[in-house]
Structure 1
Amino acid sequence: MTIPSQATQAGPPEGAAGQAPLLETRKLTKHFKVGGALSRRNLHAVDDADLTINRKEIVALVGESGSGKSTVARLLAGVYRPTAGEIRYQGRPLTAMRGRRQLLEYRGDVPMVFQDPFSSLNPAYRVSHGILRGLKLHRHDLNRAQRFEEALRVTEAVGLNPAAEILERYPYELSGGQRQRIGFAQALAYRPKLILADEPVSMLDVSIRIGLLNVMARLRAEEDVSFLYITHDIASARYVSDRLMVMYAGHVVESGPTEAVLADPKHPYTQLLLSAVPDPRAPLAVTAEAAKGEPPRVIDPGPGCRFRWRCPLAIDECATVTPLPRPLGPGRQAACHVATADPVPSARTTPVSTSDTKAGADAQPG
């Protein structure tokens, strides 16, 4: 079954002219020290990432495992501190926030839904515990009765009925899809402006993934919530997102409107991702380009394009100069020395389908 280009519940993002983005990053960088106490080696998880999310917008961050997607989410959630760069929320740097109250307000506005629905809920407590505890922490205006009413509301909002019965269950009594919906309900209880969804459907059966994606689209339409949707699944990104950002080895290599990027990918890595998505009507095959090269080098990588070892279009400049994102059309950017604004001939003639699961090979565990 071929999926439409976007969820029917989704609508165009809203934003007044001249209004600051809901959240943006400038040259966001995160390095992790590796080796012993005397080691000077650093793993470059994220380097110079510029990201913008507007109000009522769903942005998909796509890339293979180890590309830095989840690190970006944890930086935005405040789990990690950036090595360099800046995160701005509603035009204000996060570093300007002082005190526990301001940090709680931000984390209530920008909560996170985790990948694993089986470990994100405490098995010792009923489902209602996490929602009510979060409400008590972030919604001081509600009394005990109002908190329970709000828990019922958000549980129904994510499609779980009867809500009162669901809230009384323990996590082991729910399916994986139901647990992940509870994760969205917990985030929604804070009245967030942006939800960071870190591969929320990757551990679920294909048959129930569309339902979770529709929940995201409906929450955007009905609750005015924006999403950063992190995934390696191009099919689901196309289904639900307005804009697409592609990461490789810690760099954002391409960005733009989802349909435009998928119809005419500019960066060779984006082209490789699309060529790796299986066509259900064609025999399974691995192209020469997909099998070429080696995993990206992210430990003290040095200058140059990190995709050059796998790139069929690499030139001498790619080995010495790190490409910077540059405009290649309306709303389009690509960090590539050879990419042009001209349309790229595509070997793919069929739309991405629901049977498309993983895009790209796992370069590193993570």
Structure 2
Amino acid sequence: MSRRDIDTAGSAAPDEPLLVATGLTRHFRLGGVFSRRTLHAVDNAELTIGRGEIVALAGESGSGKSTVARLLAMIYPPTSGEIRFDGRPLSSLRGRSSQLAYRAQAPMVFQDPFGSINPVYKVSHGILRSLRLHRPDLDGAARTAEAERLLTTVGLTPAQQVMERYPHEMSGGQRQRIGFAQALASRPKLIIADEPVSMLDVSIRIGLLNLMTELRDESGVSFLYITHDLASARYAADRLVVMYAGTIVEQGPIDAVLADPRHPYTRLLLATVPDPRSPLADLAGADRGEPPKVVDPVPGCRFRARCPLAQDVCASTDPVPRTTGERHTTACHVTAPAPAQSIPSRAAGAAQHKESA
């Protein structure tokens, strides 16, 4: 099956989400042949990504964010659940050619740029190779022209000179932009960006976040932006999804979630954001330890051991997501409005982020 088949066979209506994941679960068996221990990396995740939308997936290390990314990129098969992309279930894609066609539409940009850049070859190699693979209609001259256009699009100029350089001659931020150029070469509908700015200086991060928003606005590309930094999520994202110990605990429009966080874990994450104007800073003392191990977890809320609001029901019953605002859902037994606070809006946060940069 070709890319054209993927484009036409299951196309959803323009007003429907680009990607919908329901009941998404991924477990890993641990130990030897006779071991029954199971790592619950992701459990029953519900996720949507709209067309031309940046969705930030946030949480601390070990929460399952990167596993979700690899499930959506078809690197891992799900243990259960379904992923629909442009109206078509990914489980229906059989064979290498159809999976390759999907990955062209949903490429990954990795935290470490060298994860997608071969240091032996010049910068032009990866981009031209992607164009040969996914755009066979282009001849040699057209591929070179398109590669130069892509480098210019991601802010690497003069493009002709950049193409002749080797990755080690580029800075970390420049290498990450090369990763975005390689991803754009296949004309994707979705880019899965797994912590693309976490290894960069603050002054460089702002440029890449701006690049993501420009690509969304100008090309209509959607992004799943995986991060542990709520400040950068507030700057770039349209919606926020918060993960904890393999489960999604809260999600909704970014301004709504940050202005009125309903889950205690979201409030804990916000307490770590440097913002002297926010009274959430005094919630930092609510943290009671490390995230739980998700090997053979027992029923109940996985945040209960660290939660200052935990009740008996939290130890016996898994919380299920429920609506707590317009397009705002929370998986918590004791969800309540957050205390009065003055968290900056996304626009104010953007200005503050620029000032700090």
* SS of residue matched to 1:27: strand
* Percentage identity across paired residues of the two chains: 64
Q: How does 1:40-55 map to 2 (within 5 A)?
A: 40-55=36-51
Deviates more, 1:294-303 or 1:64-73: 294-303
CA distance in 2, matches of 1:201, 1:306: 29
What corresponds to 1:160 in structure 2? 156
Q: Provide the secondary structure at the position in 2 that maps to 1:88.
A: strand
Q: Does 1:212 align with 2:213?
A: no
Deviation at 1:348, TM superposition (A): 5.6
Partner of 1:7 in structure 2? none
Shift of 1:329: 1.2
1:262-341 maps to which residues of 2 (within 5 A)? Answer: 262-279=258-275, 287-290=284-287, 292-340=288-336
Question: Which has the higher mean CA deviation after the structures are superposed, 172-181 or 143-152?
Answer: 143-152
Three-state SS of the structure 2 residue aligned to 1:287 is helix
Aligned to 2:228: 232
Cα separation, 2, equivalents of 1:199 and 1:247: 14
Alignment gaps of 5+ in structure 2: 1-11
Q: Distance in 1 between matches of 2:101 and 2:260?
A: 40
1:1-366 aligned at under 5 Å gives the runs 19-279=15-275, 287-290=284-287, 292-340=288-336, 343-346=337-340, 353-354=352-353
Question: What is the letter of the counterpart of residue 344 of structure 1?
Answer: A
SS of aligned partner of 2:21? strand
- Distance in 1 between the 2:54 and 2:341 partners? 28
Distance 2:243 2:47 in 1: 11
The separation in 2 between residues aligned to 1:306 and 1:179, in whole angstroms, is 38
Residues 177, 42 of structure 1: alpha-carbon distance in 2 compared, 3 angstrom cutoff: same
Q: Distance in 2 between matches of 1:219 and 1:47?
A: 31
Contact between 1:118 and 1:176, CA under 8 Å: does it hold in 2?
no
Q: TM-score, normalised by structure 1?
A: 0.88
Rounded Cα–Cα distance in structure 2 between residues aligned with 1:153 and 1:187 = 13
Q: CA deviation at 1:279?
A: 2.7
- Structure 1: 4+ residue segments shifted above 6 A: none
Tell which has more relative contact order, 1 or 2 (C-alpha 8 A, sep 6+). 1
Q: CA deviation at 1:19?
A: 3.5
**How far does residue 117 in structure 1 lie from its aligned partner after superposition?**
1.9
1:17: how far off? Answer: 7.9
Check 1:87–1:267 CA distance in 2 against 1; reply closer, same or farther (3 A cut): same
Q: Distance in 1 between matches of 2:163 and 2:182?
A: 11
Q: Offset at 1:122?
A: 1.1
The alpha carbon displacement at 1:280 in A equals 5.5
CA offsets, 1:260-303, max 9 Å, x none? 00000000000111112223679x9883202x134223001021
State whether residues 277 and 356 of structure 1, in contact with CA within 8 Å, keep that contact through their aligned partners in structure 2: no
**Would the aligned equivalents of 2:277 and 2:343 in 1 still touch at CA under 8 Å?**
no
On the 8 A contact 1:115/1:199 being kept in 2, the answer is: yes
CA contact (8 A) 2:243 2:250 kept: yes
Which structure carries more helix by proportion? Answer: 2
Query: Equivalent residue of 2:75, what SS?
Result: coil
Question: The residue matched to 1:101 in structure 2 has which SS?
Answer: helix
Deviations 1:215-258 (A, max 9, x none): 00111111110000000010110011110000000000000000
Q: Secondary structure at the residue paired with 2:148?
A: helix
Residue identity opposite 1:51 in structure 2: L
Q: Secondary structure at the match of 1:108?
A: helix
CA RMSD in angstroms, aligned pairs only: 2.1
Q: Is the CA contact 2:40–2:294 (under 8 Å) kept in the aligned structure 1?
A: yes
Query: Which 10-residue stretch deviates more, 264-273 or 110-119?
Result: 110-119
Contact between 1:28 and 1:84, CA under 8 Å: does it hold in 2?
A: yes
